Amino acid sequence: MAAIELRRLTKVYPGGVKALDALDLVIPDGEFFALLGPSGCGKTTLLRTIAGLETATGGAVVIGDRDVTSVQPGGRDIAMVFQDYALFPHMDVTDNVAYPLRIKKVAKAERHRRAGEVAARLGLERLMDRRPGQLSGGQQQRVALARVMATQAQAFLFDEPLSNLDARLRLEARTFLKKLQRELGVTTVFVTHDQAEALAMADRMAVMEAGVIRQIGTPAEVFQRPANTFVAGFIGSTPMNLLDAVVRGDTLEVAGCAVPVPDAAAGLLADGEKVVYGVRPEYNAYAPKPADGSSEGALAGKVVIVENLGASHLVTLDVNDVTVQAVVPEGSEPAVGDEGFAAPRRDRALVYRDGELVTR
Amino acid sequence: MAQATSPPDLTRETAEPTARRYSVDAAGLGRWRAGAFAAPALLLITVFLVFPALWVLYLGLTDYRLTGTAAADPKVVGLDNFLSALGEPTFWNSTWLTVQFVLGSAVIGQVGLGFAIAWLLRDKRGPLKRIVEGLVILAWILPSAVVSFLWVALLDADGGTLNALLGTGDYAWLLDHPMLSIIVFNTWRGTAFSMMLYGAALGNVPPSHLESARLAGASGWQQLRDVVFPHIKGHILTNLLLISLWTFNDFTPFMITAGGPDGKSEVLAVHVYKVALQSGQLGYGAAVSTVILLINLVVAVFYLRLLRSKK
Ligand SMILES: Nc1ncnc2c1ncn2[C@@H]1O[C@H](COP(=O)(O)OP(=O)(O)OP(=O)(O)O)[C@@H](O)[C@H]1O
Ligand SMILES: [Mg+2]
């Protein structure tokens, strides 16, 4: 078990694609760390560079207190679960799980015992003689996990290990993986493009864009207080409303309406300043009529779209030609064409200046 | 396997007359016209393949000769030709040389070298790869007569290129090492096929499997053993089958050493040519040809068995 530290890590692929750009990151020992970002932002590259499958162009990778930047993958004492699980089709479950031990020249009886032990923990006891081709996707995933666990490596790296599973199984595997990681306490880096996964599982997470990290924090921090408009627009099942605003004393002029300056930015804004006002649809209270008779502090507009999200509805309002979204609980959704008011929660709304969060 | 690719369900076809007509006669030609289309090809195959093969079988049972009385009036001599071949030291010598030739130039040379080149070039790009591949393929596509001449010029004792390069005076490579010469020659000549086959096969090995092995700390050899070979086993066997048979029946060595000196490089294909056409013993030569055919069959059945048991 060990911490992972990346110092100004840079990776330029032949052909000139800069996939990692002087990236600094510290993942403490035992943490479950998720890497999130849009496709092509360099998540896989980061993971593979930690593993040593790609050689860093610049910077350093430190695992524990050992600089492993120029160490071969096999010498880094880390284990990785690939997206396709990479189980060897010609070996049965026992041999697959025991493979890393075989390479380390652990005696046959001992490695079979250890493989059996780990597999039992993952509920694979009765599948030990099967080949990967005879297993379901979820079972294969557990075999891949068992193989990683049997190595007793310093750190685990997962590259979208759940993306091959169906929605149900994925939810199960998520819970299972998190529990397992808790029990083992092994430093784990987890790549995903499914933010629900990252929010649900990670102790901390990083949001990447084009080879750089845009925000690091706990899932709650990242979700509630995105550090910049990129993260704000990326995180959340429904994207945050990001609206151009002008500061007018202690109110903001947004889409021709006046809303109070959010608590987070109170006292930090200059009069007349141009900023971006952000509020999640979840924190935007919709009402067909203004609560206290006046439309003070709310965005007044016309309902143009109502989308069903299951237990709630996403209502899109047209507020003086600006699109504003709000989440409405089941049963109180408006009809298209209705007049409506969206009142952002003062304690949840945020202000961005030049794309960065205005905060104390 | 057998269950997976079960034959079309016949009961369902009879239940649906249209479907039946469709599957039996997709083009709607009718039996006679379809037969007429196939007939020319069948005729050519019969005339040029089936008939000569049967003719060889028959000739092997006669004392037919190229010249003399036996040429005009061949007599059936039963298995005499076969028995005398099996008692003939030159036949066994040729068989042994052929085994050396196949093992040396096909199994070790072409398959080994072809795989090695494909493995080393697997993730290379750019001019080096193209040059190596180009040279290897060039050796393969040039006509036999041309490359044979080039190799004779290379290995010749009198002013040969190799002697000039190595400064070995007038060393007679073709006389002192005839088998080695034709083995090296045939390796050089035929490696391209194996190289291309393995190049394609290696492309099918999932990179994540190799990386998984690398992360476990597997050495290059362990990666080959545990990941690559299991994945390309079928390719290897198919390659070995084709290469072995082609090499077994290859006549090109004749153009380099003419089987000499003194029969030291007289592989079976050359042996047959010599006894049948140079000595004129057509019946005997046909018998040896039949033996070669049988050996080929045994080799093919052996590989096909392996290939099937793998599945
Ligand atoms: N082998 C390679 N050679 C050249 N460029 C590459 C290579 N692998 C990745 N890239 C480029 O590097 C960038 C980062 O790729 P990477 O695979 O790390 O993205 P990712 O964040 O994992 O994306 P995804 O979510 O789609 O898996 C991309 O622009 C990609 O095109
Ligand atoms: Mg990726």
Domains (range + CATH), chain A: 4-234 (3.40.50.300), 241-357 (2.40.50.100)
Query: For residue range A54-105, what is the model confidence (pLDDT) as tens digits?
Result: 999 999 999 988 899 989 998 898 999 988 899 999 999 999 999 999 998 8
Give B27 or A139, the one with higher predicted confidence: A139
Give the DSSP H or E segment for A356.
Answer: strand A356-357
Q: Looking at the complex, report in whole angstroms how far the Cα of residue B156 sits from the nearest Cα belonging to chain A.
A: 47
The pick from A9, A10, A45, A80 for probing ligand 1's pocket by mutation, whose C-beta has the most ligand atoms within 8 angstroms, reads A45
Tell me whether A75 touches chain B (CB under 8 Å): yes
pLDDT digits (tens, 9 = 90+) for B136-175: 888 888 888 899 989 888 888 787 888 888 888 788 888 8
Q: What is the per-residue pLDDT for B23?
A: 59
Long-range contacts of B57-63 (CB under 8 A, 24+ apart): B57/B286, B57/B290, B58/B286, B59/B282, B59/B283, B59/B286, B59/B287, B60/B283, B60/B286, B60/B287, B60/B289, B60/B290, B61/B283, B61/B287, B62/B283, B63/B283
Q: Scan for tokens 């036999």, then name that residue.
A: B144
* Ligand 1 atom nearest residue A47's Cα: 18
> Is the CB of B218 less than 8 angstroms away from the CB of A74?
yes
Distances (CA, A) of A204 to A9, A172, B129: 20, 21, 45
Structure tokens at B290: 């039949």
Q: What is the pLDDT along chain A (360 residues), one digit of tens a residue?
A: 789 999 999 999 988 889 999 899 999 999 999 999 988 899 999 999 999 999 999 999 999 888 999 899 988 989 999 888 999 999 999 999 999 999 988 899 999 998 988 888 888 888 888 999 898 888 898 899 889 888 888 899 998 888 877 788 788 888 888 888 888 889 999 998 888 888 888 999 999 999 999 999 999 999 988 999 999 989 888 889 999 999 988 888 888 888 888 888 888 888 888 999 999 999 988 888 776 655 677 888 899 999 998 889 999 999 988 999 999 988 888 888 888 888 888 888 999 988 888 887
CA of residue A177 to ligand 1 center, whole Å = 26
Per-chain residues with Cβ under 5 A from ion ligand 2:
A 44
Q: Provide the pLDDT for residue A217.
A: 93
Output the pLDDT for position A205.
93
The pLDDT of residue B11: 44
CATH number of B64-309: 1.10.3720.10
What's the pLDDT at A203?
Answer: 93
Instruction: Answer whether A112's CB lies under 8 Å from A71's CB.
Output: no
Distance from A56 to chain B by nearest Cα, in Å?
A: 16
How far is the centre of ligand 1, averaged over its atoms, from the C-alpha of B252 (Å)? Answer: 50
pLDDT (0 to 100) of residue A142: 87
Asked if residue B307 has pLDDT above 80, the reply is yes
Which of A10, A12, A44, A189, when mutated, tests ligand 1's pocket best, judged by the most ligand atoms within 8 Å of its CB? A44
Q: Which residues of A touch B218 (CB under 8 A)?
A: 74, 103
Q: Which residues of B touch A (CB under 8 A)?
A: 206, 208-209, 211-218, 222, 226-227, 230-231
Angle at CA A97, nearest 5°, toward A95 and A102? 65
Q: Which residues line ligand 1 (CB under 6 A)?
A: A 13, 15, 17, 19, 37, 39-45, 193
Relative to the alpha carbon of A82, which ligand is closest? 2
CA angle centred on A78, ends A72 and A83, rounded to 5°: 100
User: What is the pLDDT at residue A174?
Assistant: 84
Mean pLDDT (chain B, rounded): 84
* Whether B290 contacts B60, CB under 8 Å: yes
Closest ligand 1 atom to residue A37 Cα is 21
Residues of A in contact with B222 (CB under 8 A): 103
Span B264-282, average pLDDT: 86
Ligand in nearest proximity to the CA of A57:
1
Does this complex have an ipTM over 0.85?
no
Per-domain boundaries in chain B:
64-309
Token pair for B153: 């010029």
- pLDDT at position A295 is 61
Q: Name the residue with the closest Cα to ligand 1, atom 22.
A: A44
Q: Which residues pair with A278 in a beta bridge?
A: A242, A350
> Closest to A86 (Cβ–Cβ): which among B208, B218, B231?
B208
**A74 CB within 8 Å of a chain B CB:** yes
Q: Which of A9, A11, A12, A17 to mutate to test the pocket of ligand 1 (most atoms within 8 A of CB)?
A: A17
Q: How does residue B118 score in pLDDT terms, banded at 50, 70 and 90?
A: very high
Q: pLDDT tier at B15 (50, 70, 90 boundaries)?
A: very low
Distance CA B262, CA B176 (A): 11
* A53/B214 Cβ within 8 A: yes
Separation CA A196–CA A225 (nearest Å): 16
| Chain A residues whose beta carbon lies within 8 Å of the beta carbon of residue B216 | 74, 99-100, 103-104, 151
Count CB atoms within 10 A of the CB of residue B41: 9
- Distance CA(B63)–CA(B71), nearest Å, equals 8
| B4 has a pLDDT exceeding 60 | no
Cα angle B254, B109, B288; round to 5 = 40
CB pairs under 8 A between A and B: 56
Q: Do A82 and B217 touch (CB under 8 A)?
A: no
CA A100/CA B214 separation, integer angstroms: 10
Looking at B203-228, list the stretches that DSSP marks H as alpha helix, in order from N- to C-terminal side: 207-216, 220-223
Please determine, for residue B12, whether its predicted confidence score (pLDDT) is greater than 50: no
